[in-house]
């Protein structure tokens, strides 16, 4: 009987750790993505990027998956390694590493996924995996949005935007 309790406690501990990692990942992603969104829009409008996306879209599903996997396989572990570097006191190196990983992730992986998502979803296991991941993301976001810290940060964001708008008007007028 004690063995089952130990397994249950250990399982809960692992699940808690996994949730913490996922929440941290989404928090970092939520911070970084809005900051680089203008860059993403600019890159998406570049003629050579549009041509590359057309080439990617013309590929078969598994070729798109292979093309997507290569930068993803480097960028995602690099983000975790960057966090490790920061915790070990190498903040500048970790910050540089995570910045580059996010750049690769947001500029390369996102563009490849955007170009080939329709064909990727024709791979049954990939479609199920993406549905599962999207479900996890949606549940975690719903949980996070129900917290006080989310409400506080949303209010802080609104206040910062209002202040920025007032400052822009003041500097334009004067």
Q: How confident is the model at residue 4 (pLDDT cuts 50, 70, 90)?
A: low
pTM of the model: 0.64
**Predicted confidence (pLDDT) at residue 2 exceeds the cutoff of 60:** no
Structural domain count, the chain = 1
Tokens standing for residue 162: 């209002």
- Does 145 fall in a domain? no
Question: 67-123: per-residue pLDDT in tens?
Answer: 999 998 998 899 889 988 988 889 899 889 988 888 888 788 889 999 999 999 999
Min mean pLDDT across 11-20, 40-49, 87-96, 152-161 is at 11-20
Task: Give tens-digit pLDDT for 132-142.
Answer: 988 988 888 88
Which pLDDT score, from 0 to 100, does residue 25 have? 67
In a domain, 12, yes or no: no
Residue 165 resides in a domain: no
Quote the tokens at residue 134: 């999207």
Give a yes or no: residue 150 inside a domain.
Answer: no
| Average pLDDT along the chain | 84
Which of 5-9, 11-15, 77-81, 163-167 shows the lowest mean pLDDT across its residues? 5-9
- Tally Cβ neighbours within 10 Å of residue 44: 14
pLDDT of 54 reads: 94
Whether residue 1 has pLDDT greater than 60: no
Give the pLDDT score at 139. 87
Q: Which domain holds residue 48?
A: 25-122
pLDDT at 5 exceeding the cut of 70: no
Report yes or no: 111 and 53 within 8 Å, Cβ to Cβ. Answer: yes
pLDDT at 168 over 90: no
Within a domain: 95:
yes
Please compute the mean of the pLDDT values over residues 37-41 and round it to a whole number: 80
The reported pLDDT for the residue numbered 128 is 95
Q: Does residue 41 sit within a domain?
A: yes
**Residue 168: inside a domain:** no
Q: What is the pLDDT of residue 22?
A: 66
Per-residue HEC secondary structure of the chain comes to CHHHHHHHHHHHHHHHHHHHHHHHHHHHHHHHHHHHHHHHHHHHCCHHHHHHHHHHHHCCHHHHHHHHHHHHHHHHHHHHHHHHHHHCCCHHHHHHHHHHHHHHHHHHHHHHHHHHHHHHCCCHHHHHHHHHHHHHHHHHHHHHHCCHHHHHHHHHHHHHHHHHHHHHHHHHHC
Q: Is residue 74 part of a domain?
A: yes
């Amino acid at each position: 009987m004690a063995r089952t309790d130990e397994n249950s406690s250990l399982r809960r501990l692992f699940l808690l750790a996994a949730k913490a990692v996922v929440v941290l990942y989404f928090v970092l992603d939520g911070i970084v993505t809005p900051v680089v969104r203008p860059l993403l829009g600019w890159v998406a409008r570049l003629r050579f990027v549009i041509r590359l996306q057309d080439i990617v879209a013309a590929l078969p599903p598994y070729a798109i998956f292979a093309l997507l996997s290569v930068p993803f396989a480097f960028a995602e572990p690099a983000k975790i390694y960057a966090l490790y570097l920061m915790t070990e006191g190498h903040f500048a190196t970790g910050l540089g590493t995570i910045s580059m990983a996010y750049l690769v992730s947001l500029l390369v992986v996102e563009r490849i996924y955007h170009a080939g998502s329709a064909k990727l979803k024709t791979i049954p296991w990939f479609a199920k995996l993406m549905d599962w991941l999207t479900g996890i993301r949606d549940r975690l976001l719903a949980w996070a949005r129900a917290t006080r810290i989310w409400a506080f940060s949303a209010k802080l964001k609104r206040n910062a935007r209002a202040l920025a708008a007032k400052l822009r008007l003041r500097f334009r007028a004067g």
